[in-house]
Amino acid sequence: MKMAVYGASGYTGRLVLAELARRGIPAVLVGRDPERLRAAAAGAGMPAAGTAQASLDDPAALAGAFAGCAAVINCAGPFITSGEPVVRAAIAAGCHYVDISGEQLYLQRVFERFGRQAADAGVTVVPGVNDDGLPSSLIAHLAAERVAPVSELVIALDLTRSGAAPSRGTLRSALANLATFRDGGLSYDDGTWRSDVPARRESVTFPGEPGPVPVVKFPLPGVATIPRHVPASHVEGVARAVLVEAFSQITPELIDAVPDGPSEASRAATRWTVVAEATGADGRRARGVVSGPDTYGASAIIAVESARQLASQDARPGVLAPAQAFDPAGFLDFLTGCQASWSIEAWPAVSEQVLSPAS
């Protein structure tokens, strides 16, 4: 089993290489600069790894670089401008494909444009396997099962960075999608993805908080994926209001001022939390929570495990959401070995609750 890593010399790409090396999975590093690729391989402790020079505007070279690999892990954003050529080349090479994108509109494009191509080629494409996109799909699926049929599903994100700045790659991707961050992106409403639907939820109680905190509409990747495996009348993504405000203020000058990415110590101090709250048509409610440390390290682990599972199991060909490609509870259990945790609670409808008699 050999993995191709596109964007291997970038910040998260190097973490993916380190995870592949830790697990003894051979890799081919693909990109534009052979020197940077060789340096990234050496830094990850895999100096004998193969490298291949290929740029986005050379589809034949990209497909040739991926040939013979079991899967492609794409780490090079912004994906809205650079992701599609890599997807196309992976399909042409007959390789399964995953990426670490959290860009909602890009995920929509991949589902809309590559589903038939991937299915015809016998290839499985699973975009958005990062610390947010994959856990939200999995936990939402499990929460929704408790109350189906689902009337409303709210996905909420909280990030605690403890002073750690995002990587330049994250900021570049956010800048390329700035309009989407500012308008809140898509909601799924009565069978259609729409950008003009305001969020219904104004507050969410995150784990460890004494009470609800303000949230606003946010273009979470789960809004693009979850309706494909959870029949729900309404799906929306929200995030802590202060987080949304920070993303909306990104400028090119800010990107130039930050380092390539946070230090290992800074990463260890960060924490990501995804909450999925499902309401059934009959009023029953379920709440799923997934949380873990180190947003960038978690994304690398998730991407490698996703690619490994695609390469070793019989996933359905086509473009799939994470919960369609992987066993939700099984993958979340795997993440508990990486210091993550997950849980689901469910409550009956108000009319079904048994009230204690007055004393």
Based on the domain organization, do 197 and 343 belong to the same domain? Answer: yes
Residue 239 belongs to domain spanning = 133-295+339-350
Based on the domain organization, do 201 and 345 belong to the same domain? Answer: yes
Q: Which of 118-122, 228-232, 313-317 has the lowest mean pLDDT?
A: 313-317
Rounded to whole angstroms, the Cα distance separating 157 from 314 reads: 31
Based on the domain organization, do 143 and 288 belong to the same domain? Answer: yes
Structural domain includes residue 356: no
Based on the domain organization, do 184 and 101 belong to the same domain? Answer: no
The model's pTM = 0.95
The CATH code of the domain that includes 207 is 3.30.360
Count how many domains the chain has: 2
- Tell me the pLDDT tens digit for each residue of 139-192: 999 999 999 999 999 999 998 765 567 899 999 999 999 999 889 999 999 999
Based on the domain organization, do 73 and 141 belong to the same domain? Answer: no
Structural domain includes residue 262: yes
The CATH code of the domain that includes 100 is 3.40.50.720
User: What is the Cα gyration radius of the chain?
Assistant: 20
Based on the domain organization, do 282 and 305 belong to the same domain? Answer: no
| Mean residue pLDDT across the chain | 93
Based on the domain organization, do 177 and 290 belong to the same domain? Answer: yes
Structural domain includes residue 241: yes
Structural domain includes residue 358: no
Based on the domain organization, do 46 and 152 belong to the same domain? Answer: no
Based on the domain organization, do 320 and 231 belong to the same domain? Answer: no
Based on the domain organization, do 154 and 254 belong to the same domain? Answer: yes
Based on the domain organization, do 30 and 87 belong to the same domain? Answer: yes
Structural domain includes residue 334: no
Under the banding of pLDDT at 50, 70 and 90, the label for residue 349 is confident
Structural domain includes residue 359: no
Instruction: Say what the pLDDT of residue 249 is.
Output: 82
Based on the domain organization, do 117 and 189 belong to the same domain? Answer: no
Q: Is the pLDDT of residue 350 over 80?
A: no
Structural domain includes residue 355: no
